Amino acid sequence: MKLMRVGEPGRERPALLGNDGLLRDLSGVVQDINGAALADMSWAQNLDANRLPAIEGTPRIGPCVNSIGKFVAIGLNYADHAAETGAPIPDEPIVFMKATSSIVGPNSDVIIPKGSTKTDWEVELGVVIAREARYVEKADALEYIAGYCVVNDVSERAYQLEMGGQWIKGKSADTFGPIGPWLVTRDEVRDPQDLYLWLEVDGHRYQNGSTRTMIFDVATIVSYVSQFMSLQPGDLITTGTPPGVGLGQKPAVFLQPGQIMRLGVEGLGEQMQRVVAYE
Judged against a pLDDT cut of 80, whether residue 165 lies above it is answered with no
Of the candidates 201, 148, 170, 150, the residue with the CA atom closest to the CA atom of residue 85: 170
Given a contact cutoff of 8 angstroms between Cβ atoms, the answer to whether 229 and 89 are in contact is no
pLDDT tens for each residue of 46-91: 999 999 999 999 999 999 999 999 999 999 999 888 888 888 889 9
Question: Got the DSSP string for 130-157?
Answer: -S-BSS--GGGGGGGEEEEEEEE--EEH
Pairing of strands 269-277, 260-265: antiparallel
Beta bridge partners of 273: 261
Give CA–CA dist 240/75, Å, rounded. Answer: 5
What's the whole-number mean pLDDT along residues 243-271?
Answer: 97
Task: Give the C-alpha separation, 74 to 94, whole Å.
Answer: 5
**Contact indicator for 53, 217 with CB cutoff of 8 Å:** no
Helix (H) or strand (E) holding 266: none
- Domains of the chain, start order: 2-51 (no CATH), 71-277 (3.90.850.10)
pLDDT at position 129 over 90: yes
